[in-house]
């Protein structure tokens, strides 16, 4: 649940959805060169567009990294 709380906070900070915030975070990670995702409807596709335009700041990335660690 920590990761969901962190994603909710970060999404709120950037006025985005959880999905867009999650995708932006994944795309910002240097070790991931091709995130795998799919869209089943227009809302999900819009989240992809939003994610491509989000640039998570180091604080947000750190918050999500910490929340997702074991």
Assess contact for 22 and 9: CB atoms under 8 A: no
Residue linked to tokens 């060169």: 33
Q: For residue 12, how many C-alpha atoms fall within 13 Å in the half-sphere facing its CB?
A: 6
- pTM for the whole structure: 0.83
**What pLDDT is stored for residue 57 in this prediction?**
94
The C-alpha atoms of residue 48 and residue 23 are separated, in whole angstroms, by 7
Q: 3-state class of 1 per DSSP?
A: coil
**What pLDDT is stored for residue 54 in this prediction?**
93
Domain boundaries, the chain: 2-68
Q: Is 80 exceeded by the pLDDT of residue 70? A: no
Assess contact for 25 and 61: CB atoms under 8 A: yes
14-59 pLDDT tens trace = 999 999 999 999 889 888 877 778 888 999 999 999 999 999 999 9
């Amino acid at each position: 649940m920590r990761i969901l709380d962190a994603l909710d906070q970060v999404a709120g900070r950037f006025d985005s959805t959880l999905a867009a915030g999650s995708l932006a975070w994944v795309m910002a990670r240097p070790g991931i060169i091709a995130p795998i995702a799919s869209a089943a409807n227009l809302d999900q596709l819009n989240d992809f567009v939003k994610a491509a335009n989000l640039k998570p700041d180091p604080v947000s990335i750190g918050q999500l990294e910490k929340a997702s660690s074991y």
